[in-house]
């Protein structure tokens, strides 16, 4: 199954440290060798990198590992193909435009007998993940002509995701560059780093960083990942069915969907 990595921060922050740990799971110490991708928001712009090759041996991934692109919202994905072949069109994150905003989406899991809603958004590749993304956007576009208030948005997203839970595993990340929406049905963890900052040691690589040397007292940075990436920090686990909306590193809305349906 695929692995997800996301970041929400109150200041532009690079994800080089976390990406270095995830990169090794992309075909070197993990089975996720069927492509990878990452999306960085920079203001209203969206900088995306994709590769259908294994992340751990990708020249593009090595660039991302060493190039400190700073962003407040990031979505990253390493793929172990279940539905859809290994191709660039099937690599996450997927992107579309809605309400003059770039939206990015990544998914971990597999859904059985999923039928997306119809509308202007259709899949380019042949993954159920991209169809879920289009399903969410078609639902939002049919209900609102402009961005709704966050409370209404999260209500619509959670209502739209509820029927998916009975179809299989559906861990996902969705962002428009201002916020990051996350949903867990099986496995997802998060950690919020704030002052006083300290050192962190990657679990899958002999690499340590002292965040105190790279941050200010006002910085808030949350990292969300399928599996914890560090060995000396306390990561919190999502509950099955739990969703959270992150803004500038903080939880602004959260809830738990009924998983027994």
Is residue 76 within 8 A of residue 124, CB to CB? The reply is: no
Give the integer Cα–Cα distance in Å for 226 and 238. 10
CA-CA distance, 213 to 42, in Å (whole number)? Answer: 23
Closest CA to 199 of 219, 217, 215: 215
Q: Tell me, what DSSP letter sits at residue 202?
A: B
Q: Quick check: 239 and 224 in contact, CB under 8 A?
A: no
At 133, is the secondary structure helix, strand, or coil? helix
The token duo for 204 is 């899958």
Q: Please state, in angstroms and rounded to a whole number, the distance separating the CA atoms of residues 54 and 19.
A: 14
- For the annotated catalytic residues, the residue numbers are 2
Rg (CA), the chain: 17
Residues with Cβ within 8 Å of 114's Cβ and at least 6 positions away in sequence, in order, are 128, 131, 132, 135, 164, 167
């Amino acid at each position: 199954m695929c692995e997800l990595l996301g970041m929400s921060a109150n200041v532009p922050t690079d994800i080089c440290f976390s990406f270095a740990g995830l990169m090794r799971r992309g075909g070197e110490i993990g089975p996720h060798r069927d492509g990878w991708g990452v999306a960085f928001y920079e203001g209203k712009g969206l900088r995306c990198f994709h590769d259908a090759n294994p992340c751990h041996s990708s020249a593009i991934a090595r660039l991302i590992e060493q190039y400190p692109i700073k962003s407040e919202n990031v979505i990253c994905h390493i793929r172990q193909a279940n539905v859809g072949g290994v191709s660039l069109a099937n690599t996450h994150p997927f992107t579309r435009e809605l309400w003059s905003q770039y939206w990015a989406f990544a998914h971990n899991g597999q859904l059985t007998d999923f039928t997306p809603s119809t509308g202007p958004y259709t899949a380019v590749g042949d993954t159920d993940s991209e169809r879920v993304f289009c399903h969410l956007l078609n639902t939002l576009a049919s209900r609102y002509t402009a961005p709704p208030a966050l409370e209404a948005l999260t209500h619509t997203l959670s209502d739209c995701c509820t029927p998916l839970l009975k179809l299989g595993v559906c861990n996902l990340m969705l962002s428009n560059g201002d916020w990051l929406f996350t949903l867990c049905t099986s496995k997802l963890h998060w950690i919020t780093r704030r002052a006083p900052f300290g050192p962190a040691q990657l679990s899958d690589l002999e690499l340590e960083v002292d965040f105190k040397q790279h941050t200010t007292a006002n910085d808030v940075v949350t990292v969300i990942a399928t599996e914890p990436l560090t060995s000396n920090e306390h990561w919190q686990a999502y509950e099955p069915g739990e969703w959270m909306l992150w803004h500038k590193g903080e939880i602004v809305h959260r809830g738990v969907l009924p998983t027994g349906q």
